[in-house]
Amino acid sequence: MKKVLFVILILCFNLGIAQSAVQEATLSDCALELTKQKVTYDPSYFSIAYPNGDVPSDKGVCTDVVIRAYRKIGIDLQKEVHEDMKAHFDLYPKIWGLKNTDKNIDHRRVPNLMTYFKRQGAEKEVTQNPDDYKPGDIVCWNLRGAITHIGIVVNKKSNDGKRYLIVHNIGSGQVLEDCLFDFKIIGHYRLES
């Protein structure tokens, strides 16, 4: 009996350490970790599992960087966006002519993520002041026309030390770049986990 209790105590202690390590990982850390993974830009539609589904690990777009980083800190944006869209479909963009939700793609669309973050109270002011953008923040841009983009502010500074860098995928895989003000910022979010 004492042996069983000892084993249970050891398991509980180890589980506590593991949970602690997961909680200590930040979105910024997780985004930086993603830059070590080779990913080809691929905007294809994929049928994926639900919840916790993902496109093939060697493929992705800008939203997949955000989805994968959040998943590493225990937030499944596929599930969260899908559930919110099901409950409040009328509040989400109708850009794609959809009549109902699609758990394979809805969370992979920048305007849907922007709506979700705003609905969660995560919206921050869009400014041209680099000090307003903190590690773990989500930034959305308009590249031109109806082309939107999304990335994560990380805890690494530009060469001049004036602004944080961004992890994103704009066509060259999951990369770290100094691009915060390269395009028109249309969204700024800080989702507390």
Q: Identify the domain containing residue 147 by its residue range.
A: 27-189
Does the pLDDT value for residue 188 go beyond 80? yes
Q: Is residue 17 part of a domain?
A: no
Q: Is residue 77 part of a domain?
A: yes
CA atoms within 13 A on the CB side of 85: 27
Q: Is residue 104 part of a domain?
A: yes
Q: Is residue 48 part of a domain?
A: yes
C-alpha pair distances (Å), 32 with each of 56, 69, 135: 19, 9, 11
C-beta of residue 126 within 8 angstroms of C-beta of residue 183: no
The model's pTM is 0.87
Does the pLDDT value for residue 68 go beyond 50? yes
Q: Is residue 18 part of a domain?
A: no
* Structural domain total, the chain: 1
Sign of the alpha-carbon torsion through 18, 20, 23, 24: negative
The pLDDT tens digits for 133-181 are 999 999 999 999 889 999 999 999 999 999 999 999 999 999 999 999 9
Report d(CA 186, CA 150) in Å as an integer. Answer: 10
Q: Is residue 130 part of a domain?
A: yes
**95 or 4, which is more confident:** 95
H or E element that contains 103: none
Report d(CA 103, CA 115) in Å as an integer. Answer: 16
Q: Give me the residues paired with residue 148 across strands.
A: 142
- In 70-181, the DSSP E strands lie at 138-144, 147-157, 164-168, 175-177
Q: What is the CATH number of the domain that holds 151?
A: 3.90.1720
- Would you state the pLDDT for residue 4? 39
Sign of the alpha-carbon torsion through 69, 90, 51, 18: positive
Q: Is residue 12 part of a domain?
A: no
Q: Is residue 90 part of a domain?
A: yes
The pLDDT tens digits for 107-135 are 999 999 999 999 999 999 999 999 999 99
